[in-house]
A and B are shown apart, each in its own frame.
Chain A
Amino acid sequence: GENVEQHPSTLSVQEGDSAVIKCTYSDSASNYFPWYKQELGKRPQLIIDIRSNVGEKKDQRIAVTLNKTAKHFSLHITETQPEDSAVYFCAASNTGNQFYFGTGTSLTVIP
């Protein structure tokens, strides 16, 4: 099955700086890569996703890049704000039939 690795496990940045979280996957059949934000005790919320026919996608301060050849994808958050503090999970899926999550990154934005 699919194996998704995520780094770093914890990340602290100063407010206004950028944060980058990286994930790798093993199954070349995976073609959908969502990113979720989970605040303590709450449900994961989809923040951005990318499909394998696209190399990059941006939504305001959030961007995701995908390198299919190397089987890795990254989340970029620019101009970080304290409310960005949360745990972020990447996931890989094959047409949405199964989702495999990374181990999570706890992001702390220091005011």
Chain B
Amino acid sequence: GAVVSQHPSWVICKSGTSVKIECRSLDFQATTMFWYRQFPKQSLMLMATSNEGSKATYEQGVEKDKFLINHASLTLSTLTVTSAHPEDSSFYICSGRSTSGQETQYFGPGTRLLVL
């Protein structure tokens, strides 16, 4: 149980375009979803926390207008990287925390974004 999927797994785009990444909890309802960014051989950096039906809470230094997060349902959150630039190239991972009240978060497989 507790499976999280992400789509797409790989995306290559031109500079200036926008990219949407979907994060779905497949067998549980995720009250809270988290979005992380991970550079090669580095740790997971929390970008934002989103609760279903409310605005996301962004970490310091993360531009909310650049990384648009929508958590429209208990099973779906999306991250849109707007006007992507090469420095946005990274591995983006989402995770979901169940409505059951437990703290455990379950990670998606990640989306590798390459901006040319």
Contact = CB atoms under 8 A, between A and B. Distances in A.
Contact of B103 (A93, A100, A101): A93
A103 interface: yes
A96 B60 contact: no
B104 A46 contact: yes
Contacts of A101: 36, 43-46
Consensus secondary structure, chain B interface: strand
B59 to A, nearest CB: 8
B42 interface: yes
Nearest to A31: B103
Contacts, number: 57
Consensus secondary structure, chain A interface: strand
B43 A89 contact: yes
Interface of B: 32, 34, 36, 41-46, 49, 59-60, 93, 95, 97, 102-110
Given A43-B107, A49-B103, 18 more contacts: A1-B59, A34-B103, A36-B107, A42-B110, A43-B108, A43-B110, A44-B44, A45-B107, A46-B106, A89-B43, A89-B44, A95-B103, A97-B49, A99-B105, A101-B45, A101-B46, A103-B42, A103-B43
A-B pairs, top 5 by smallest CB distance, nearest first, are A96-B103, A43-B107, A32-B103, A101-B44, A103-B43
23 contacts: A1-B59, A1-B60, A34-B103, A34-B105, A43-B107, A43-B108, A43-B110, A44-B93, A45-B107, A46-B104, A46-B106, A89-B43, A89-B44, A95-B103, A96-B97, A97-B32, A99-B95, A100-B46, A101-B45, A101-B46, A102-B43, A103-B42, A104-B43
